[in-house]
Structure 1
């Protein structure tokens, strides 16, 4: 009888050692994953707080809402799914184009009481000036007149160049500086003038 108990106790000892090692690895893995989950939860909480702040800023600026609602937490842990076929990329592009079209049409169909475009603000500002102004001066003046808007000098400069291209503004250089004025309405446009004889 003692011969059969020895192999059984050795086998039990081996299993006990293996199970103890497996349990230790399991506990370490649980601790590692718990740490990762807590870190991800902290990141998610920070992102949700940022989202709330950004939505409030967007509302304060009075701009049309472009934000998506915050993602609600999932109650069940999702399982990984394997893709059996590759999804075509065209439907995603089409969805993005449709989304962009909806946003632009929403802006275009905004009520007349909505804030004026930057182009109209710049044109109006130039028409009121008696002296040439730089893009930085115009951006500063418009920023002061419209504190609810974020007006950047680079965007104003691009807008001014667009107006110059359409002959709705004039550009002059003084040294290395560029200045803009409203178009000179006293002189007829070049394409209306007769060629010299």
Structure 2
């Protein structure tokens, strides 16, 4: 008869463990949903910033806007832009249609005769013995050019533009990305 006593206790223990696991799973699902929503909002903000910066670049005489097919990672795979349909973002939220002209997203435009962000970053990296992160480069440019508004996203976009043009090289160490001047290679001849 003593063999029958543990069975209800074991069943109750398993039932409690299942209930605890179910509760933990639901909590984790909610945490992941919240994180996903935050990341989707971040993506929308970054896309909006990209549009503003691209327009500024075109106005300032930079290179023309890249198409989605031109946005490639270092391995050559296409990185798609977020899907938008019916004026809504991938997160299902309305897409931003108006811009506040006093928005802090934009950088201070360069004055006539000032070097471009690409020229500044390339010059800075040319004087460095080791690759630097976008944050390190932005900090150095802020110190060197206090009259110009330097923002890490602007610097990062500029660095990626330099990589796309073959002026700079990108390297990864874990999750960190570092930039350095492109290796010196002979220029192709016109003949």
TM surpasses 0.5 = no
Bigger-Rg structure (1/2): 1
Shorter-chain TM-score category? 0.3 to 0.5
